[in-house]
Amino acid sequence: MSKIKVLFRMLALVKPLAGFMLLAVTLGTLGFLTAQFIPILGGYAVLNGLGIETGITLKTVVILLILFAVLRSIFRFSEQRTNHYIAFTLLAIIRDRVFKALRRLCPAKLEGRDKGDLIALITSDVELLEVFYAHTISPICIAIVTETVMCLFIGSFHPLLGLTALVAFLVVGVVLPLIISKRSGTLGDDLRAESGALAAHMLESINGIDETLQYRGGEKRLKEITDKTKKLSERQSVLNRLTGTNMALANTCIWLADLFMLGIGLVLFNSGKIGFDGLLISMIALMSSFGPVTALSALGTTLQSTVASGARVLAVVDEVPETEEITGKETVSFEGAKAENVTFGYGTEEVLNNVSLNIGKNETVGLVGPSGCGKSTLLKLFMRFWKTTNGRVSVSETDVNNINTDDLRDMESYMTQETQLFKDTIANNIRIGKPDATDEEVEEACKKASIHDFIMKLPKGYDTEVGELGSTLSGGEKQRIGLARAFLHDAPFMLLDEPTSNIDSLNEAMILKALKESAKNKTILLVSHRPSTMRIADRTLSMDGGRVS
């Protein structure tokens, strides 16, 4: 996506808050004008002291000076307050859109993606857009309006003076930012990309710290972090140097513009085309009016990172999900499931090849086979996380692509190999399976998953916090909580991927007993490497090389 297109897309988000943006521009313009006219009024006071007739009395000048000083503070505060209200409201809207996009993309489009990079996008990239909405849009509009007024005011003494001021404003506020932006090239994009890579590497390092310590990989890991940090710092240093160069050039141009205006003013004064008041006031007006365009001169560098962040955020929002949410179809009740001549692959790597599987209602089907043969992938296709390349996956003789997504999720309980726990209580983690479940329903599900007795031994029972990613629990305990979720969801079709892989024999026996009892009115597709787990299956199928036998 081009930078111009990104900018227009970002600007389009302001439309719901256009009224507030107009208010911010008005307040900002009035704030700058009152500030700029304070030294101009001082000039009129000097002229009055010299006895030069200006049409404004000294008393009026003093009153206006006090009034403008007070109004300047009020306008400035109000403009900043309004701008930040706009910025943080829009950030909330953008975050909402990003999270909705992530929900649409999950899980297919997020598998294998750097989680640290996603965290950087959600946090720092979105946060950086605050600069654009609070310190870019309205300052540009304010600069245009303010400097137009100042050009007209200076030009009222002589058109050539007004033209000189216009050229000076354009050079500082337009030409310099464009030159610096061109010099910086893709620096902003590179900086944001490397920032995301560093965040991903740090998250990976924190998650793998036990293995790093065990195998003495600390020095290597530290060197990698240091190298990435150094590379990011070098990029930032280049950007900082460009910013410094930009400010130096802006200040030089302002100094030269003042000298040029003085020269033209002296020529006009000596030729009698303007009086001393025109020379003095036009000089003071020009020297005091570079504030708005000086703010714009820094955009050549700051806008690079902002646009890069905007592009990364919009790329996620615009990304097309692997499977779209389906609504508006007739409700389907579960009567069995089928995979018919299904072929599927991740990219160019084929995982399933012409697989057919018929699962009858209230039947428990076991699926065994070596790792990587496609067992887990088949379960994901029944969940419609991915679309088949060829063939058909159906539930109740209806293609899953024609079933309402909510209906499909209600009909299926899916337990993955790795149970994801949130930093919350055990009860709330289990209630993900059924948010409105009663305490009794939660306890019953936990008894089936053979985790109730363990929970009751904890100091706070079901109100015990599990820590970040369930760090306070063992692998088996987390797995049983995941199984409790599946029991609580109470769907007619249970898809269980290695539900007992981390569980001891005693707890496995209790869980299998619960599953066997549940199988009276449920259909279960069970994936496991354990022969003991497969004993509850009515029939067992073998997968190898992407085929079922």
In tens, the pLDDT along 219-274 reads 888 888 888 888 878 777 777 777 777 778 888 888 998 898 999 999 998 998 98
Q: Which range (23-27, 133-137, 208-212, 444-448) has the least confidence?
A: 208-212
CATH 3.40.50.300 placement within the chain: 337-548
- Answer for the pair 415, 498: CB distance below 8 angstroms, yes or no: no
CA angle 121, 127, 128 (to 5 degrees): 90
Q: Which range (112-126, 180-194, 289-303, 305-319) has the least confidence?
A: 180-194
**Separation between Cα atoms, residue 297 and residue 134, nearest integer Å:** 16
DSSP bridge partners of 392: 340
pLDDT score for 23: 93
| pLDDT band at residue 332 under the 50/70/90 scheme | confident
CATH 1.20.1560.10 placement within the chain: 3-318
Percentage of the chain surpassing pLDDT 70? 93
Q: Within its chain, how far is the Cα of 245 from the centroid?
A: 31
pLDDT score for 112: 65
Domain 3-318 coded CATH 3.30.565.10: no
**Separation between Cα atoms, residue 343 and residue 339, nearest integer Å:** 10
| pLDDT band at residue 71 under the 50/70/90 scheme | very high
DSSP bridge partners of 337: 359, 395
DSSP bridge partners of 322: none
DSSP letter string, 413-435 = EEE-SS----SSBHHHHHGGG-T
Q: Report which secondary-structure segment, H or E, holds 535.
A: none
SS3 247: helix
Tell which residue, 175, 176, 150, 180, has the closest CA to residue 261.
Answer: 150
- Residues 1-28: tens digit of each pLDDT: 567 788 788 888 888 888 998 999 999 9
pTM of the model: 0.69
Q: What is the mean pLDDT of residues 33-50?
A: 89
Q: Which residues contact 347 (CB under 8 A, 6 or more apart)?
A: none
**Separation between Cα atoms, residue 82 and residue 135, nearest integer Å:** 11
| CATH class of the domain at 337-548 | alpha beta
Q: What is the mean pLDDT of residues 430-446?
A: 89
